[in-house]
C-alpha cells in the first residue's frame, strides 16, 4: 500500500493507477469513468447497447445524484471520496445467484488485502444478504439487477458502493449506520488500489463459483454475522421474527420461528435487523 501521507488532499480517480494494479482477464478491462452520474445502475442500462458493453465492463462515477440502495433506499454518494461502480456481466443464467455472495466476499477480501501491513489490517464482517460491515456498521453495499441486451443476452448489473475516505460523521442520515475505511483506520486509502483489488478478487471468486466450486459460498456463509442470532425480516407487508439458522444453496436465509418451524426468506426487498 502507498504511504497514506500522500493522500491528505484527495485526488480524482486515476485510471492509469487503477490499471497498473489490475490483474484480471476481463473484469474492469473496459473502464468507463463518469465525473457525474445519477446512478451507475441507470448509466449502465443506458450504455449496454449504445456502447456495446461486454462481459466485465466497469462503469465508475465520482459522484451520484440519485444513488440507489436495496429496498428502495438511497445511497449517499458525495464526490471524490468513495467508490460507486457497476460491473456489467453476461452470465449463464445459473451463475447469476452466485453474484449475491461472490460480490460482498470479494469486497471483504480486497479490504483485507489493501489494509494489510503496518498493523492496520481490517477484517470486515458479512451480513446477509450482501452487506459488508466494520464494527457493526456498513462499509459497503451491493445491488444486483438483471436486464437483457438488444440481442436478448441476459445482462447482470453488479452495483457496489464502498465508503472509502468518507467522513461518515458529517452525514447525519448515515452517521449511526455507516462507516468508512478512513473512519476505521484514521488515514485515507487510495481508491484505485481498492477498486483493482475488488476486481481481482471478484473475477477469481466468480470464476470459481461458475466452475462449480462451493468454497466461495461456504466462506461467505461461515462469515455471516447473522447466523445464530435473533433477527427480524421485514418487507412486502410481512414481518418474520426468529433465529437465523442457515443459508440455503440458493442464498435464501433460513429463519427458525419460536415454535421450531423453519421458513426461508429470499433477499428481494427484505430488510434484516437484529431483534431487540
Ligand atoms: C445497499 O443498499 O446496500 C446497496 C447499495 C448499492 C450502492 C451502489 S453505488 C453504485 C451503484 N449505483 C447505485 O445507484 N447503487 C449502487
In the listed set 202, 220, 238, which residue is the last one of a domain according to the structure?
Answer: 220
Same domain, 30 and 135: yes
The CATH number assigned to the domain holding 193 equals 3.30.930.10
Question: In terms of C-beta distances under 8 Å and separation of at least 24 residues, what long-range contacts does 146-151 make, across chains too?
Answer: 146/96, 147/45, 147/48, 149/48, 149/49, 149/90, 150/49
Same domain, 216 and 231: no
The pLDDT score that the predictor gives to residue 87 is 98
In the listed set 192, 220, 248, which residue is the last one of a domain according to the structure?
Answer: 220
Is the distance from CB of 149 to CB of 48 less than 8 angstroms?
yes
Same domain, 26 and 107: yes
Same domain, 169 and 246: no
Q: Is 73 in the pocket of ligand 1 (CB under 6 A)?
A: yes
Same domain, 159 and 52: yes
> Beta-strand (E) ranges in the chain?
31-34, 58-61, 83-89, 125-127, 131-134, 137-148, 154-162, 230-235, 238-247, 253-256, 262-265, 271-274
Same domain, 101 and 165: yes
Cα 213 to averaged position of ligand 1 atoms, centre (Å): 27
Is residue 119 classed exposed, middle or buried when 0-12, 13-18 and 19+ CB atoms within 10 A define those classes?
exposed
The pLDDT score that the predictor gives to residue 235 is 79
Cα 269 to averaged position of ligand 1 atoms, centre (Å): 14
In the listed set 205, 220, 235, which residue is the last one of a domain according to the structure?
Answer: 220
pLDDT of 71-85, one tens digit each? 889 999 999 999 999
Cα 225 to averaged position of ligand 1 atoms, centre (Å): 21
Q: Is 159 in the pocket of ligand 1 (CB under 6 A)?
A: yes
**What atom of ligand 1 comes closest to residue 85's alpha carbon?**
10
Same domain, 198 and 267: no
Q: Is 202 in the pocket of ligand 1 (CB under 6 A)?
A: no
User: Would strands 31-34 and 58-61 be described as parallel, antiparallel, or unpaired?
Assistant: parallel
Same domain, 268 and 243: yes
- Round to the nearest angstrom and report the end-to-end CA distance of the chain: 40
Q: For the chain, which residues score pLDDT lower than 70?
A: 1-10, 117-119, 268-270, 275-276
Same domain, 11 and 108: yes
The CATH number assigned to the domain holding 245 equals 2.30.30.100
Q: How many domains does the chain have?
A: 2
pTM of the model: 0.94
The pLDDT score that the predictor gives to residue 51 is 92
Q: Ligand 1 pocket test: pick from 68, 131, 164, 268 the residue with the most ligand atoms within 8 Å of its Cβ.
A: 68
Same domain, 216 and 242: no
C-alpha cell belonging to residue 260:
421450531
Between CA 111 and CA 109 the distance in angstroms is 6
| Residue range of the domain that includes 41 | 4-220
Same domain, 94 and 132: yes
pLDDT of 91-146, one tens digit each? 999 999 999 999 999 999 999 999 996 568 899 999 999 999 999 999 999 999 99
Same domain, 59 and 95: yes
User: Would strands 154-162 and 230-235 be described as parallel, antiparallel, or unpaired?
Assistant: unpaired
Amino acid at each position: 500500500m502507498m504511504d497514506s501521507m500522500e493522500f491528505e488532499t484527495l485526488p480524482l480517480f486515476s485510471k492509469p493507477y487503477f490499471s497498473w494494479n489490475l490483474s484480471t482477464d476481463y473484469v474492469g478491462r473496459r473502464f468507463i469513468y463518469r465525473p457525474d452520474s445519477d446512478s451507475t445502475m441507470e448509466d449502465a442500462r443506458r450504455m449496454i447497447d449504445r456502447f456495446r458493453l461486454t462481459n466485465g465492463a466497469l462503469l465508475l462515477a465520482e459522484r451520484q445524484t440519485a444513488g440507489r440502495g436495496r429496498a428502495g433506499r438511497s445511497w449517499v454518494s458525495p464526490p471524490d471520496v468513495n467508490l460507486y461502480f457497476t460491473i456489467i456481466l453476461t452470465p449463464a443464467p445459473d451463475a447469476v445467484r452466485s453474484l449475491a455472495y461472490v460480490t460482498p466476499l470479494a469486497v471483504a477480501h480486497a479490504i483485507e488485502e489493501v489494509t494489510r501491513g503496518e498493523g492496520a489490517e481490517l477484517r470486515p464482517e458479512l451480513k446477509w444478504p450482501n452487506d459488508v460491515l466494520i464494527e457493526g456498521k456498513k462499509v459497503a453495499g451491493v445491488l444486483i439487477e438483471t436486464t437483457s441486451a438488444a440481442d436478448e443476452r441476459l445482462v447482470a448489473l453488479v452495483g457496489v458502493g464502498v465508503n472509502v475516505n468518507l467522513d461518515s460523521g458529517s452525514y447525519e442520515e448515515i452517521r449511526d449506520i455507516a462507516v468508512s475505511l478512513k473512519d476505521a483506520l484514521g488515514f485515507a486509502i487510495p481508491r484505485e488500489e481498492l477498486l483493482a483489488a475488488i476486481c481481482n478478487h471478484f473475477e477469481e471468486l466468480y470464476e470459481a463459483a461458475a466452475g462449480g466450486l462451493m468454497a466461495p459460498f461456504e466462506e461467505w456463509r461461515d462469515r455471516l454475522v447473522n447466523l445464530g442470532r435473533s433477527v427480524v425480516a421485514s418487507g412486502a407487508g410481512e414481518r418474520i421474527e426468529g433465529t437465523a439458522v442457515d443459508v440455503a444453496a440458493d442464498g435464501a436465509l433460513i429463519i427458525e420461528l419460536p415454535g421450531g418451524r423453519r421458513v426461508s426468506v429470499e433477499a428481494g426487498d427484505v430488510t434484516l435487523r437484529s431483534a431487540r
